[in-house]
A and B are shown apart, each in its own frame.
Chain A
């Protein structure tokens, strides 16, 4: 079964750091671009970051550029998001997602259940 499982969320103070993870299983993780998408409480979906198959190319939303860093370990089938200088507005559920059966079609057909990050003093 194709699966993405996020972990590592929690409560952090403003200015603090947190690393969240996404464990992939059931597919050849190293062959697919991966994304992070977040959703603030009661709000819509916002794309955060993406990484190509071998980790050599990364992209970020302007709101997180310079503070967040996406990476992957293809040997461990795991995606990461290192979040530094966290702000209250980073409070959200963070989803990892990818496109497997619709590869190249400009969307995401596999989503994790999400991990919650809360930034508060």
Chain B
């Protein structure tokens, strides 16, 4: 089965803690993306990567970091510098114009 997986489904972060959200795809797509979605808001682009070992900041990159060491994987780290991390995080991949999304990770702050 081809697709995108995200884990965990729910993640709890303590004050001052860095947490990492996993995103894996077996669609053989070159490009991958991370979005944040807040209630009543559209998706906002955090980071994107069009090829292995390269990534670019999106509109709201502050307080986040990513890596792209493998084509299949694009993990997102929410650092302690992100003061309002509570949100629904979505990972996507694409080969051309269409994006395919994972099931999302909901991050909550304790």
Please say whether chains A and B are actual partners in one complex.
Answer: no
